[in-house]
Amino acid sequence: MKEEINQTLPEAYTDIDKETKASGFTMASELPACALLRVLAASKPSGKFLELGTGTGLATSWILDGMDESSTLISIDNDNRSLSVAKRYLAVDKRATFIQTDGEAWITKNKNEKFDYIFADTWHGKYLLLDETLSMLNRGGLYIIDDMLPQLNWPDGHEKKVEKLIADLEARKDLLLTKQNWSSGIIIAVKNNM
């Protein structure tokens, strides 16, 4: 079996990918991770979805492609330049709401919201405000993160933050999780009934 994706790409993906590459944005999720996001999204009919770190919308396009028509997605990013790419191609989808804001401010303000699926692809919700973010998950909700394997764009010392995050997630009694040692390194956790 090979990692290649032999399925139809989301409609806007190719255009977003071209613009992402032209802009020099290097923090986009890898294609295998995006395909997984779509499959996992399809497992949450009528779900409430949260994406922390829209970037240019590459992963967002896959999440939306997996969601059913009665699901909703809130996607936030603090960088208007990147977010504007996502909005240009994906804001026509009425299931999606794009918000430019600081992750900490948004999580703090919306800490009582509940979601069935959280893709945390930025510092807030992953390395910062982890407990607050996980408290936003419904029972049976999915928490997904990528970039857990060494990346060329990691700053010095980042591997220690990754190790701590993984240890913190593994120590939690309210999550069941699996670590996937492929693509950029993925962790999928499910909120259990603890």
- 74: in domain: yes
- 7: in domain: no
- 91: in domain: yes
State the pLDDT at residue 182. Answer: 82
State the pLDDT at residue 2. Answer: 64
Q: 102: domain CATH number? A: 3.40.50.150
- 6: in domain: no
State the pLDDT at residue 194. Answer: 59
State the pLDDT at residue 4. Answer: 66
- 46: in domain: yes
Distances (CA, A) of 37 to 88, 90, 100, 108, 167: 21, 16, 22, 25, 23
Q: Give the total number of structural domains in the chain.
A: 1
- 1: in domain: no
Tell me the torsion sign for CA atoms 17, 81, 30, 113: negative
Can you give the pLDDT of all 194 residues of the chain as single tens digits?
566 667 889 999 999 999 988 887 777 778 889 999 999 999 999 999 999 999 999 999 999 999 999 999 999 999 999 999 999 999 999 999 999 999 999 999 999 999 999 999 999 999 999 999 999 999 999 999 998 888 877 788 889 999 999 999 999 999 999 999 888 889 999 999 75
- 5: in domain: no
Contacts of 100 (CB under 8 A, 6+ apart): 76, 77, 78, 79, 80, 83
Whole domain around residue 44: which residue ranges? 13-191
- The C-alpha atoms of residue 170 and residue 125 are separated, in whole angstroms, by 16
- 162: in domain: yes
Three-state DSSP class for residue 74: strand
User: Encoding tokens for residue 194?
Assistant: 């603890």
